[in-house]
Chain A
Amino acid sequence: MFDLLGISPQVLMGQLLLGLINGSFYAVLSLGLAVIFGLLNIINFAHGALYMMGAFVAWMLLSYLGVGYWWALILSPLIVGVFGIVLERTMLSRLYKLDHLYGLLLTFGLALIIQGLFRNYYGISGLPYQIPEALSGGQNLGFMFLPNYRAWVVAASAVVCFGTWFMIEKTRLGAYLRAATENPVLVGAFGINVPLMIMLTYGFGVALAGFAGVLAAPIYSVNPNMGADLIIVVFAVVVIGGMGSIMGAILTGYVLGLVEGLTRVFYPEGSAVVIFVIMAIVLLIKPEGLFGKAA
């Protein structure tokens, strides 16, 4: 069947895997954006820079302190999360009463500063990060070769997405979060510390970006621009999915990664723009996004 179209199954499966990998990053990043937007009403333009920071922190832990990948997978999101909390306490928390635009401008400025600092110290050529020993090599599945590290990225991001979804939709803590997203004043009047929740939510959202950054480090070279390139696509993903839904952000991320992969097989020229074309169509037909609630 594939041969009829002149496409080998190896090529198709290879591109689908690549799409799934990209989709994994889109999902984790757009999930973080959706969580942050829900509670803080801030479009976190610094998300890409914090993703890049996650990769850099992993690289620094290894190069300066000899701390390896597995520890970095925990430490780097923690460090990025704490950095995010400092940003939230010192700057973002002053903007909650203002229009979305202010949060967007501030986080955009922060992204430029963070990226600029890393570019200044580390240049733009990119730094290598080795795939951890335990995940080198791969499996021959018969129809394709599956590198272990790529399988790990898909699995790890799926677990993190599911865990986050579960925490928000199925637990007591998540109920606080959903309620505070709807009506923070009333939740505060019940005796719940909403400012603390907001601070931790921002920390958690950017820690997700940091986590994605560590996952990315061995695949893409660690580069100050790695976040800026990715975040534009992730914003398109978020627009398509709609800001309103956690599950929507996750599913849209994976599906669009796969769509991009398929486009690379059937119409390679379109693969760089397909997500933006879909975004334009969604904006015309359902401006609140596929999973968004009409304003």
Chain B
Amino acid sequence: MTEAARTEPLLRVRGLEGWYGESHVLHGIDFDVHEGEVVTLLGRNGAGKTSTLLGIMGILPRRAGSVTFEGVETIGMQPRQIARQGIAICPEERGIFSSLSVEENLMLPPRIKDGGLSVERIYDLFPNLRERRRSQGTKLSGGEQQMLAIARILRTGSRLLLLDEPTEGLAPVIVQQIGHTIGALKSEGFTIVLVEQNFRFAASVADRHHVVEQGRVIDVIPNAELDANMDKLHGYLGV
């Protein structure tokens, strides 16, 4: 038994199924995330990565199976109750509010628990946001909006962060900056589920990768074994 398997996982997903109306998109997702880990969900477009995060958060219109967080079953809870357990999402479309200033966007998610980052610490991590805190949220560049979307969930005290493709469509230098940020968050003890298409980026930040295909996790690859599994992974991702 490995070290990780002996302790209770922070997040435990078992047989998670999900639907949009009649359309059945998750067919039994299984994976565990332990305290302090960064894990990825990799997979082609439409594989069900975003839906998995929405399923964990309770936003998916209909879901079944089991999602426990700190040992508590959340499958019957409303999204706001799940958030209050200490899970926070940075959505794929970023969800920056145009009628709110940068600072209002940052301050929007309420504090759930103690132990979140202070606003000063957040502005130190993202100096651009401090400079532009009076601007309208959606006037920021794409990269700045992405940083804002990550920054605002760090204040809340949530220990599990769900990040949906934070590097999508961003310039390499900004991707690098987000990589550093994720590294910094990991060393602060945050637990992160990261959805990625860019697996070179994923390899630079994660402990373990879960390959999602047609609404199932079909393979799990520890980051240390990534090189040995490169051909297989290329096959899964079709790159």
Contact = CB atoms under 8 A, between A and B. Distances in A.
A182 B18 CA distance: 25
A189 B164 CA distance: 14
Interface in A174-212: 175-176, 178-179, 181-183, 185-194
A172 interface: yes
A189 B82 CA distance: 8
Given A178-B99, A178-B100, A179-B100, A185 B107 contact: no
Interface of A: 172, 175-176, 178-179, 181-183, 185-194
B83 interface: yes
Contact of A192 (B57, B80, B95, B100): B80
Question: Interface majority SS on B: helix, strand, loop or mixed?
Answer: loop
A191 B85 CA distance: 9
Interface stretch (B62-70, B108-116, B176-184): B108-116
A93 to B, nearest CB: 15
B2 to A, nearest CB: 33
Contacts of B59: 185, 189
Given A188-B78, A189-B83, 8 more contacts: A178-B97, A178-B99, A185-B79, A189-B79, A190-B80, A190-B153, A191-B112, A192-B109
Interface of B: 57-59, 78-80, 82-84, 88-89, 91, 95, 97-100, 104, 107-110, 112, 153, 156
Contacts of A181: 99
A70 B117 CA distance: 48
B110 A192 contact: yes
B79 A175 contact: no
A216 to B, nearest CB: 32
A189 B100 contact: no
Contact of A182 (B78, B79, B98): B98
A179 B106 CA distance: 12
Contacts of B89: 189
Contacts, number: 56
A268 B57 CA distance: 61
Nearest to B101: A175
A191 B84 contact: yes
A179 B98 CA distance: 8
A194 B80 contact: yes
Contacts of A179: 97, 99-100, 108
A21 B80 CA distance: 44
A182 B97 contact: yes
11 contacts: A172-B107, A175-B107, A178-B99, A179-B108, A183-B97, A188-B79, A188-B83, A189-B83, A190-B108, A191-B156, A193-B80
3 tightest A-B CB contacts, nearest first: A191-B83, A190-B109, A178-B99
A175 B108 contact: yes
Nearest to B84: A191
